Copies of this chain bind each other. A is one copy, B any other.
Amino acid sequence: MGLTRLFTDVDFQRAGLEMHALMERLYPICRSITGQGIRDTFTALRGEIPLEVHRVPSGTPVFDWTVPREWNLRDAYIKDARGVKVVDLQRSSLHVVGYSVPVHERMQLRDLRPHLHSLPEHPDWIPYRASYYRENWGFCLTHRQLESLQDGEYEVVIDSTLEDGQLDYAECVVEGREEAEVLISAHACHPSLCNDNLSGVVLSTCLARLLAERRPRLTYRFVFIPTIIGSITWLARNEERAGRIRHGLVVTCVGDAGAFTYKRSRRGDADVDRAAAHVLRHSGFEHEVIDFFPYGYDERNYCSPGFDLPVGSLSRTTHGRFPEYHTSADNLDFVRPRHLAESLQVYLRLLETLENDGTWLNTNPKCEPQLGRRGLYNVIGGLKSGQTEELAMFWVLNQCDGRHSLLDIAERSGIAFDTIAHVADRLAEHGLLTPARS
């Protein structure tokens, strides 16, 4: 499947703008791991792709955890003695600590202070904080706001509810010709933060739409989840299905200007790990491939020892490594259409590699076949690219002994996978290759 072949630079540019436009619509929604915000997000995505939303009641046991109560936030502010709202949820969804319990109190600044969070090193940014599993409340504000607060009495209102309800997650499945699945997982629980992880949400949405337009070989399962508890819940409800996952990717932080980072699965040498390293190496983009570590986002659950799924994570700058991370500076300016488009390009190349990888048998394994009389040699012309194709043919013929996949051959030869896959198709058309497993 030539996922990227029909794509021109203009197509990518347009896709980048569309992804950014979708992000703009999702940005203002006040999201958390449960509640109306994430449901509104899924409703918005449903305008783009078919999406099945799953509801799991609070209190449901999921492995060592329990699905938490649902949190909803209607309003929140701090009013000073003169009645002026010095902090107001309506101005930023980041102003309230996620999962804050309801509060309506008058208190002195010195008592309010321990509930106020700011970033002295970035005095104009609002930090993002949450306290899902320990009851607490608080406000986040810029350090300048904090410093301007005068001693005196304040009215503190958090009009929230924390009650039995449900956890929502959404799935979009693109059926392929084979049952084996590719899991694409994006967390959709953060409030107004763009790179982490509206970028992952819109890129996944775009991928789902593009794949649905084609007829892929593999089946693609896109999951949009609240982070950590979402993957735990999904895995608890899909233990059997997990066995069908042949490759997986956690999509986060794909919209900043930084170099690409691929974090390997726990296995370290899964096909997706090798394909990602290969695609990045041939992408022309700056990149880094790093080893798995049991921290980060949902890969830590997909890669827990009881599952050990072949799930890696492909980002640009990874979580916690950019100063804007988990602050109001991770906004619509920080994520640019161009960067989303580049990420789309790399993801498509990677999926294309997974789609087209396979193991073939040389039907003439003893000595090389005579390519010339089949018009496969020197007919392409003396072009540089032609020579690479000829060399690629020799590599494919030499290595297709049933023990080497096309990706193996691309790795050993140093030739880009798409060239290897292309000449394998040509050789197969001439009967010189046959699938290794029927």
- A residues lining the B interface (CB < 8 Å): 62-65, 133-134, 231-232, 235-236, 239, 266, 293-295, 300-301, 303-308, 362, 364-370, 372-373, 391, 394-395, 397-401, 413
- How far does the alpha carbon of A65 sit from the alpha carbon of B377 in the complex, in Å? 14
- How far does the alpha carbon of A293 sit from the alpha carbon of B391 in the complex, in Å? 9
A-B contacts, 25 of them at CB < 8 A, read A62-B367, A63-B366, A64-B367, A64-B368, A64-B369, A65-B370, A134-B372, A231-B367, A232-B367, A235-B366, A235-B367, A239-B366, A293-B394, A293-B395, A294-B368, A300-B394, A301-B367, A301-B368, A303-B398, A304-B365, A305-B362, A305-B397, A307-B366, A307-B367, A308-B401
Q: How many Å from the CB of A169 to the closest CB on chain B? A: 15
- How far does the alpha carbon of A42 sit from the alpha carbon of B398 in the complex, in Å? 32
Q: Which residue of B lies closest to A369 (CB)?
A: B64
Q: Which residue of B lies closest to A300 (CB)?
A: B368
Known: A231-B367, A294-B397, A367-B64. A372 touches B133 (CB 8 A): yes
- How far does the alpha carbon of A401 sit from the alpha carbon of B134 in the complex, in Å? 30
- How far does the alpha carbon of A305 sit from the alpha carbon of B400 in the complex, in Å? 7
Neighbouring B residues of A373 by C-beta, 8 Å? 133
Q: Which one of B64, B391, B400 contacts A370 once the chains associate, using CB atoms below 8 Å?
A: B64
Q: Which residue of B lies closest to A373 (CB)?
A: B133
Neighbouring B residues of A235 by C-beta, 8 Å? 366-367
Q: Which one of B306, B366, B399 contacts A365 once the chains associate, using CB atoms below 8 Å?
A: B306
Instruction: Please determine whether A394 and B295 come into contact, CB atoms closer than 8 angstroms.
Output: yes
Neighbouring B residues of A372 by C-beta, 8 Å? 133-134
Q: Which of A232, A294, A295 has the most CB of B within 10 A?
A: A294
Instruction: Please determine whether B65 and A399 come into contact, CB atoms closer than 8 angstroms.
Output: no
- How far does the alpha carbon of A64 sit from the alpha carbon of B364 in the complex, in Å? 7
Neighbouring B residues of A366 by C-beta, 8 Å? 63, 235-236, 239, 304, 306-307
Known: A133-B372, A293-B413, A372-B134. A367 touches B400 (CB 8 A): no
Neighbouring B residues of A294 by C-beta, 8 Å? 368, 394-395, 397-399
Q: How many Å from the CB of A414 to the closest CB on chain B? A: 9
Instruction: Please determine whether B63 and A306 come into contact, CB atoms closer than 8 angstroms.
Output: no
Neighbouring B residues of A236 by C-beta, 8 Å? 366-367
- How far does the alpha carbon of A333 sit from the alpha carbon of B134 in the complex, in Å? 62
Neighbouring B residues of A239 by C-beta, 8 Å? 366
Q: How many Å from the CB of A308 to the closest CB on chain B? A: 8
Q: Which residue of B lies closest to A363 (CB)?
A: B64
Q: How many Å from the CB of A49 to the closest CB on chain B? A: 27
Neighbouring B residues of A306 by C-beta, 8 Å? 362, 364-367
- How far does the alpha carbon of A370 sit from the alpha carbon of B301 in the complex, in Å? 12
- How far does the alpha carbon of A266 sit from the alpha carbon of B354 in the complex, in Å? 26
Q: Which residue of B lies closest to A268 (CB)?
A: B412
Neighbouring B residues of A391 by C-beta, 8 Å? 293, 295
Known: A134-B372, A294-B394. A367 touches B304 (CB 8 A): yes
Instruction: Please determine whether A367 and B398 come into contact, CB atoms closer than 8 angstroms.
Output: no
Q: Which residue of B lies closest to A390 (CB)?
A: B295
- How far does the alpha carbon of A327 sit from the alpha carbon of B138 in the complex, in Å? 73
Q: Which residue of B lies closest to A398 (CB)?
A: B294
Instruction: Please determine whether A63 and B364 come into contact, CB atoms closer than 8 angstroms.
Output: yes
- How far does the alpha carbon of A399 sit from the alpha carbon of B394 in the complex, in Å? 41
**Other A-B pairs, 17, CB within 8 Å; known A63-B366, A235-B366, A294-B398:** A62-B367, A63-B364, A63-B367, A64-B364, A133-B373, A232-B368, A236-B366, A294-B394, A294-B399, A295-B391, A300-B398, A301-B368, A305-B397, A305-B398, A305-B400, A307-B367, A308-B401
Neighbouring B residues of A370 by C-beta, 8 Å? 64-65, 133
